[in-house]
Amino acid sequence: MAAEGGLGDMGAVGANADDALRFHIEQRLRERAAQADETTSLFYLGRAYRPAWDDPARVEAMLAAIESVRVHGLDPADFNPERLRRAAAGATGVEALAERDLLLTDTLVELLFQLRYGKVDPRSLYREWNFTPPPNPYERAGELAAVMQAGDLRAAIEAQAPDLPLYRALLRGLAHYQALAMLGDWPKVAGGPTLRPGARSARVPALRERLLVEPESGLDEATRASTHYDPALVEAVKGFQVRHGLEADGIIGAQTLLALNTSPAQRVAQIRANLERLRWVAADLRGDRLLVDIVGYHADLVLDGQPVWASKVIVGKPARKTPSLRDSVVNLVFNPKWVVPPTILREDVIPRAARNPGYLASQRLRVVDRSGQSVDPSTIDWAGARQSGFPYMIVQQSGADGSLGRIKFSLSNPYAIYLHDTNARSLFGRAERALSSGCVRVEKPYELARLLLDDPVAWSAEALQAALDSGRTRTIPVGREVTVLLHYSTAALDEQGRLQLRNDLYGRDEPILRALATQRSALPR
């Protein structure tokens, strides 16, 4: 007799057929390709190939969990629920029951993986990606077994998603913007000259209409036809800017206009991209860590579970992006010399030296050969250097006015990306700070140095200052090992814990969305 819901009676296999069913499960697993994910095989090995899906209610629980992945920005179609229903309802005979059991388990393996680690492999998008990878099949088989043993299977599945404040805020934001998207787009504000407080413009009514759709605006509908950019509207714009990680100056420039004209459907897509990013990096967002928020131009240091340092930073311009990396500080360099890296040498220094014979001297740059001997720049064919090759290095001597400032935080990556002080401190006053050639400039390097040296006696504030004032280049190992995360995200929490959706500085959301839209070809993973 079929169980309610049409899933068949999966407890109908008699004791005499139990060994045969185990045999067929084991045989099917042995026939899998060598490169297949072994999670399912290891799971069944651990249970002596006993079937795992003899309770129709648990199949229903998994199907319900599949439908609920929508709230995580994932696609239930990836798990082919209709195929699962057909297999569960129509399986008869030992071979079909074995196939059904494996299909259900393979699907659960994929479901748990997407919820916990993401659907998209970030290495397919970023060649330098080195954040902590998902665990191996042995560990995931253990995770699968723990989920299968849970009394409430659906709750156990849904508990696999990252338990992070930002992730939870994104889930709420996704539901909010999905509801707004059902109502259609909101009013657009036309482009034009920068709109400043107090101005009068035919664009102001559209601006007011746009902000009226947000309950946080506090605007009075009675003034919706006014062309005056009045104080109440300015305050509403400032609130909007805060919610989108923009400078709260009330000025409608290009970045604020872009955020205003981003539709609810586009916000849904943006949130989905950021949910996927968090699944990739959730394992690294614990323990001691120095997190560089690339899009937010900000860095935070957390030690022993407590925030101990925060600073503005300057990151790579869109043409020379700061990569997303997991790294660590290996040492500090006081009064560092700067060896001009290849990209800056090729694209900046050589062309400027070709145009201006005095450029190198004005920047305190000198040319040296591979043995460190100085080379007279007047003997170099600068105009032809980019075509014929450049067999020299260009070095800037240490000093507070050097490009690296007085402290360099050396990382271990092979891309010549590191954190450092700067001689252009006024740039920290800008709201948009994508200005470097890829490295990260830090506004508060001295405090960070003392925390990483982790020796308040040997490295008091006075001792550090004396070492810097000596002018001598010194390399000092860190006293405390801290994971450094250069992380790109167009979503964050503001100081009040509210969701902040920001403009996509490097255009990295769209490739994630394209990858999420790609249907998975087959199970198992």
* Partners of 407 in the β-ladder: 334
Provide the domain count of the chain. Answer: 3
Amino acid, res. 490: T
Which of 56-60, 292-296, 377-381 shows the lowest mean pLDDT across its residues? Answer: 377-381
Q: Is 176 a catalytic residue?
A: no
% of the chain surpassing 90 pLDDT: 76
Q: What angle do CA 348, 351, 356 make, to 5 degrees?
A: 110
pTM of the model: 0.89
Q: What are phi and psi of 225, to 5 degrees?
A: -90, -5
User: Is the pLDDT assigned to residue 391 strictly greater than 80?
Assistant: yes
Give yes or no: residues 235 and 303 share one domain. Answer: no
DSSP secondary structure of 70-116? GGGT--GGGG-HHHHHHHHHH--SHHHHHHHHHHHHHHHHHHHHHHH
Which residue is catalytic, options 24, 72, 439, 487?
439
**Distance, CA of 4 to CA of 57 (rounded, Å):** 9
User: How confident is residue 92, by pLDDT bands cut at 50, 70 and 90?
Assistant: confident
Judge whether 245 lies within some domain. Answer: yes
- Report the C-alpha dihedral over residues 63, 65, 66, 70, rounded to 10 degrees: 140
Section 424-448 average pLDDT: 95
Bridge-based pairing state of the strands 474-477 and 440-442: unpaired
pLDDT in tens, 323-380: 999 999 999 999 999 888 888 898 899 999 989 989 998 888 999 988 888 999 888 9
Q: What are phi and psi of 412, to 5 degrees?
A: -100, 0
Judge whether 4 lies within some domain. Answer: no
**Distance, CA of 115 to CA of 119 (rounded, Å):** 8
For residue 309, what is the enclosing H or E element?
strand 306-316
Residue 88: count other Cβ atoms within 10 Å of its Cβ: 23
Give yes or no: residues 95 and 204 share one domain. Answer: no
Give yes or no: residues 305 and 389 share one domain. Answer: yes
pLDDT in tens, 207-251: 999 998 887 777 777 677 889 999 999 999 999 999 999 999 999
User: How confident is residue 397, by pLDDT bands cut at 50, 70 and 90?
Assistant: confident
Which residue is catalytic, options 24, 244, 298, 420?
420
Section 283-309 average pLDDT: 96
Supply the range of the domain harboring residue 400. Answer: 284-490
Give yes or no: residues 303 and 359 share one domain. Answer: yes
Token digits of residue 243: 């919610």
Residue 82: count other Cβ atoms within 10 Å of its Cβ: 10
Judge whether 510 lies within some domain. Answer: no
Give yes or no: residues 102 and 244 share one domain. Answer: no
User: How confident is residue 6, by pLDDT bands cut at 50, 70 and 90?
Assistant: very low
Give yes or no: residues 458 and 335 share one domain. Answer: yes
pLDDT in tens, 447-501: 999 999 999 999 999 999 999 999 999 999 999 989 999 999 999 999 889 999 9
Q: Is 420 a catalytic residue?
A: yes
- Residue 356's domain is classified under what CATH number? 2.40.440.10
**Distance, CA of 486 to CA of 292 (rounded, Å):** 5
Give yes or no: residues 293 and 340 share one domain. Answer: yes
Judge whether 232 lies within some domain. Answer: yes
Judge whether 209 lies within some domain. Answer: yes
Give yes or no: residues 145 and 248 share one domain. Answer: no
Q: What are phi and psi of 281, to 5 degrees?
A: -110, 0
DSSP secondary structure of 417-462? --EE--S-GGGGGSS--EEESSSEEES-HHHHHHHHHT-TTTT-HH
